[in-house]
Chains A and B, each alone.
Chain A
Amino acid sequence: MIGFKRKTLENGLRVIIHEDDSTPMAVVNLLYDVGSSDEDPERTGSAHLLEHLMFGGSANIPSYDRVVQRAGGENNAFTSNDITNYYLHLPAANVETGMWLESDRMLGLRFTRKGFDIQKNVVIEEFKQRYLNQPYGDIWMLLRPLAYKVHPYKWPTIGMDISHIEKITLEEIERFYYEHYCPSNAILCISGNVKAGHCFGLAEKWFGPIEKRKKTGRRLPAEPPRSRPLKTDVSRDVPAHEIVIAYNMCARNTPLYYVHDLISDLLAGGKSSRLYRHLVMEKKLLTGVNAYITGDRDPGLFIVRGRPADGISIELAHGEILAGIGDLTDRPPSREELDKVKNKLEATRQYMHSDILHKAIDLSYQELLGDAEGINNEIAIYRKITPGDILEAAASLFEPANSSTLFYRSGQLPE
Chain B
Amino acid sequence: MTPGDVRPDIVRLKNGIPVFLIRAGSQPVVRLDLTFSAGAWWQSKPLQASLVNAMISEGTAKRPGREIAEILDYHGAYINASSDRDNAFLTIYFLARHMDIILSLAAEMIREPSFPAEEYHALMDRRKQNFLIEKSKVGNLARDGFACALFGPGHPYGRTFSRQDFDNILREDIIDFHSRFYHSRNCKIVVSGNYDEKALLSRLDELFGDKWDPPGIGEPVKVGKRPSAERHIFVPKKDAVQSALRIGHETFVKSHPDYPQMLVLNNLLGGHFGSRLMQNIREKKGYTYGIGSVLAGLRNSGFLVIVSEVGTGYHKAALKEIYRELDKLCSKPVSERELKLTRNQMLGDLLRDFDGPFARAESIRTLIEHDLEIDFYDRIIHAINTVTPAELLELANKYLSPDSMYEVVAGHE
A→B interface (CB under 8 Å):
20, 22-25, 65-66, 69-74, 89-91, 117-126, 128-130, 132-136, 237-240, 269-273, 277, 280-281, 284, 287-288, 307, 309-310, 336, 339-341, 343-348, 350-351, 353-356
Contacts and interface: CB of A to CB of B under 8 A. Distances in A.
A65 B274 CA distance: 7
B29 interface: yes
B34 interface: no
Interface stretch (B44-52, B125-133, B218-226, B398-406): B125-133
Interface in B274-319: 274, 282-290, 309-311
Interface in B248-296: 272-274, 282-290
Those 8 A-B pairs whose CB atoms lie nearest each other, nearest first: A72-B348, A347-B76, A121-B286, A239-B132, A271-B69, A126-B289, A272-B69, A118-B286
B352 interface: yes
A272 B72 contact: yes
Nearest to A90: B348
Interface in B117-144: 119, 122, 125-126, 128-130, 132-133, 135-138
27 contacts: A22-B25, A25-B351, A66-B341, A70-B341, A70-B344, A118-B286, A122-B283, A125-B309, A125-B311, A128-B311, A132-B241, A133-B309, A135-B133, A136-B133, A237-B136, A239-B129, A239-B135, A240-B129, A270-B73, A272-B73, A277-B69, A281-B66, A281-B122, A336-B74, A339-B74, A354-B26, A354-B193
Contacts, number: 187
Interface string B46-78: 000000000001000000011001101111111
B15 interface: no
Interface stretch (B149-157, B325-333, B353-361, B387-395): B353-361
A343 B70 CA distance: 12
B28 interface: yes
Contact of A351 (B26, B93, B239, B309): B93
Residue from A23, A273, A354 whose CB has the most chain B CB atoms within 10 Å: A354
A118 B285 contact: yes
Interface residues of B, number: 70
B103 interface: no
Contacts of A280: 122, 126
Nearest to B1: A24
B273 A65 contact: yes
B283 A118 contact: yes
B94 interface: yes
Considering residues B137, B239, B289, which has the most beta carbons from chain A within 10 angstroms of its beta carbon? Answer: B289
Contacts of A344: 73, 76
Contacts of A345: 76
Given A350-B28, A353-B27, A125 B95 contact: no
B267 to A, nearest CB: 10
A287 B130 contact: yes
B138 to A, nearest CB: 6
Nearest to B349: A74
A240 B340 CA distance: 50
B87 interface: no
B240 interface: yes
Nearest to A123: B289
Given A91-B348, A287-B125, A307-B129, A340 B74 contact: yes
A350 B241 contact: no
Contacts of B69: 270-272, 277
Given A122-B289, A134-B137, A340-B74, A350 B29 contact: yes
Contacts of A69: 272-274, 341-342, 344-345
Interface in B1-52: 1, 24-29
Contact of A66 (B136, B274, B352): B274
A238 B136 contact: yes
B356 A355 contact: yes
B184 interface: no
A221 to B, nearest CB: 32
Nearest to B98: A347
A355 B126 CA distance: 34
A348 B241 contact: no
Given A133-B240, A272-B73, A309-B129, A284 B122 contact: yes
B282 A122 contact: yes
Contact of A288 (B28, B126, B193): B126
A362 to B, nearest CB: 13
Contacts of B83: none
Given A22-B26, A117-B286, A71 B95 contact: no
